[in-house]
Amino acid sequence: MVLPIIEVKGLTYTYPESESPSLKDVNFKAEAGEFVLVTGPSGCGKTTFCRALNGLIPNSYGGEFRGSVVVDGLSTTSTPVYELAQRVGLVFQNPENELFCTTVEREVAFGPENLALSREEIAMRVEEALSTVGILHLKEKSPEELSGGEQQKVAIAALLAMKPKILVLDEPTANLDPLSAKSILELMSRLNESGVTVVLVEHRLEMVSHMADRCIVFDGGRIVMDGSPEDVLYSDSVADLGIGIPKVVLVSKHLNRSRNGSLRCLTPDGLASYVRGFPV
Amino acid sequence: MISVEGVTYSYGGDVVALDGVSLEVGDSELLAIVGENGAGKTTLVKHLNGLLKPQKGKVFVGGIDTKETTVARIARKVGLVFQNPDHQLFAETVEKELAFALTNFGASPEEIRSRVEWALAEFSLVKYRDRSPFTLSGGEKKRVSLASVLCYDPEIIVLDEPTTGQDNLQKTRLAGLLTKLNRQGKTVIVVTHDIEFVADFIPRVVVMSRGKIIADGKAEEVLVAKEVMESSSLLPPQLAELSWKLGLKHPSIKLDVVIGEISRMLEASAK
């Protein structure tokens, strides 16, 4: 039997200054190579969940932590942060808050330098990470002079240089224009195809649901739905959760009701081919 | 209400942020200004409350030339809600933040109190009244900055990217509020690249690209114009894309229209 790469068991977590828990008895497993989309209303526990996956919670935040989080075989409560950082990379909503070096190259080299790797190894990792995200040409630039989308790519490259097996992204496209957002999401899809396990928090399901293998929905600190994006978006109860259902799904659901069909499309392409007589 | 006439503006260097832009906005209109980053959207709206003055051309707000008056006077008419709340918020508590503009405008204590209570309730901020705005989450700060502008009741409200970091429920609530304000007679201008939000809630759309306005009209017409969407580097609404892929004669951003068209196509092919 294959061990899950992420295993969260009975996780209940309360922030230090808070009276009620932000996560309540969360149980979650992901297999290596999965692309997991995480969604749900604001304040439902998504961000807290992300922080728990790389050990920021409880190691940096304190608070009351019950249950366990094991990533790549390591328990987050008993593993040093630098060990976890080589396995789980966390990308935040606002890249400005993460970048602090004078050049893109220094920024991306920062993590590997702290692992005491050889100079050649560091240089190789930096080149590789920058070319993977497609910003090798920005190597000499200062992160400050880049656009939001480019900054987010720098933040992702900095994590890739640590060669993590898991990338956790907390609304990485929230502040980006649509084309930059699309390019970050497509990058995630490519990285996932190359074997990286991706956990992505995103509200704009129309842009990403077709890329994911699985979709989990948080509400009130709990996982309330867990299944394929089709299972989740086409379920009857999903509308009550206040998440934005893509228009293609709304159209298909309506056609299913009025024509007794069983459409499960997630993209305009899928639905258009069906209507034109080429079922997908 | 607002008249922008051939305005050109450059921050220096070779790049022209606004290149001969003209725009008329009537009383109690609800419109969106969309376009890629760097298209000139924010530069344009900064002209509407006098933060920037045109280098060429003229801007009139309520008949007044913005060059002939002070920012303080226009600001009372035109409330601008910034994209990044951290650039706007500064007071010690949420309550003080909301009261600030009214106090400056010399409103009576009773009026200030009643407006602040209204805004706290309208934006679900009552429980945060004594908190520092800086200790709130991104989405909550965004609501404080919006509340602080609506609190002093300007005639024209300009919102720069109000939906970033907001979930679907909050977006729907925001849309409801903007629609309500608009029905009460306010002019509401939303700068955004959240095209699904525009398609669902905003009747008029102005598309900007590289410092120029490249389209201006009804949302259901502009957002389905393929060449406009492509040349502005915007992602089209999902229903527009679906309409194009289906080859609909009249592409639409309305759910019932697209469903109707598809039903017809399916029935025709069944015969």
Tens of pLDDT, residue by residue over A68-109, are 999 999 999 999 988 998 999 999 887 777 788 889 999 999
Q: How far apart are CA A79 and CA A62, in angstroms?
A: 15
Domain presence at residue A226? yes
**Is A55 in the same domain as A185?**
yes
* Count of domains forming chain B: 2
Q: For the segment B161-201, what is each residue's pLDDT rounded down to a tens digit? A: 898 878 888 889 889 999 999 999 999 999 998 999 999 99
What is residue A276's DSSP assignment? T
Specify the pLDDT at position B82: 85
A272 inside domain: yes
- Does the beta carbon of B145 lie under 8 angstroms from any beta carbon of chain A? no
Quote the CA–CA distance of B207 and B209 in Å, as a whole number: 7
Host H or E run for residue B239: helix B238-246
Domain assignment of residue A202, yes or no: yes
CB contact under 8 A, A243 and B258: no
Cβ contact, residue pair B168, A242, below 8 Å: yes
- Judged by a CB distance cut-off of 8 A, whether residue A119 touches chain B is no
Kindly state whether residues B156 and B227 are assigned to the same domain: yes
Asked whether the beta carbons of A158 and A90 are under 8 A apart, the reply is no
> Whole domain around residue A114: which residue ranges?
100-162
Residues A182 and A250 in one domain: no
Residue B78, class by beta-carbon neighbours within 10 Å (0-12 exposed, 13-18 middle, 19+ buried)?
A: buried
* Burial state string for A73-105 with b = 16 or more CB within 10 A and e = fewer than 16: ebebeebeeeebbbbbbbbbbbbeebbeeeebb
Give the CATH number of the domain where residue B54 resides.
Answer: 3.40.50.300
Residue B194 and residue B261 in one domain: no
Residue A241 domain flag: no
Query: Does residue A218 share a domain with residue A189?
Result: yes
Residue B107: is its pLDDT beyond 70?
yes
Closest chain A residue to B246, measured at CA? A272
Q: Is B193 at the interface with chain A, CB within 8 A?
A: yes
Q: How many domains does the structure of chain A reveal? A: 3
Tell me: do A83 and A171 sit in the same domain: yes
Could you tell me whether strands A35-39 and A214-219 are parallel, antiparallel, or unpaired per DSSP bridges?
A: parallel
Quick one: A114 and A33 in the same domain?
no
What does the pLDDT look like over B224-241, one tens digit per residue? 999 999 988 889 999 999
Q: Is B15 on the interface with A (CB under 8 A)?
A: no
**What percent of chain B is modeled with pLDDT above 90?**
72
Spatial distance between the Cα atoms of A85 and A210, rounded to a whole number of angstroms = 29
Candidates B234, B238, B257, B263: best to mutate against A (most CBs of A within 10 A) is: B238
Q: Are residues B180 and B228 in the same domain?
A: yes
**Which residue range is the domain that position B251 belongs to?**
237-271
* Mean pLDDT of the region B37-58: 92
Quote the pLDDT of residue A93: 81
State the CATH number of the domain containing residue A26: 3.40.50.300
Inspect the interface and report whether the beta carbons of B242 and A250 lie closer than 8 Å.
no
Q: State residue A280's pLDDT score.
A: 47
Residues B107 and B241 in one domain: no
Q: Kindly state whether residues A216 and A173 are assigned to the same domain.
A: yes
Together in a domain, A71 and A201: yes
pLDDT given for residue A95 in this prediction: 75
Round to whole Å and give the CA distance between A214 and A226.
Answer: 7
My answer on whether A83 and A4 are in the same domain is yes
User: Do B99 and B195 have their domain in common?
Assistant: yes
For residue B238, give the nearest of A180, A203, A247 by CB distance.
A247
Q: Do B125 and B187 sit in the same domain of this protein?
A: yes
> How much is the mean pLDDT over chain B?
92
The residue type found at A249 is V
- Is the Cβ pair A42, B269 closer than 8 Å? no
Question: By CB neighbour count within 10 A (0-12 exposed, 13-18 middle, 19+ buried), where does B271 fall?
Answer: exposed
Query: A19 and A122 in one domain?
Result: no
Query: Do A185 and A78 belong to one domain?
Result: yes
Looking at residue A279, what is its pLDDT? 56
CB within 8 Å: A177 and B36: yes
**Residue ranges, chain A, pLDDT below 50:** 280
Encoding tokens for residue A209?
A: 């649901």
Give the whole-angstrom CA distance, residue B255 versus residue A125. Answer: 48
- The structure's pTM equals 0.88
| Residues of A with Cβ-Cβ distance to B169 under 8 angstroms | 41-42, 242
* A82 and A105 housed in the same domain: no
Instruction: Assign 3-state DSSP to chain B and report helix, strand, coil percentages, each to 5.
Output: 45, 20, 35
Residues B206 and B151 in one domain: yes
A92 belongs to a structural domain: no
Looking at this predicted complex, what is its ipTM?
A: 0.86
Has residue A94 been placed in a domain? no
Candidates B257, B266, B267, B271: best to mutate against A (most CBs of A within 10 A) is B266
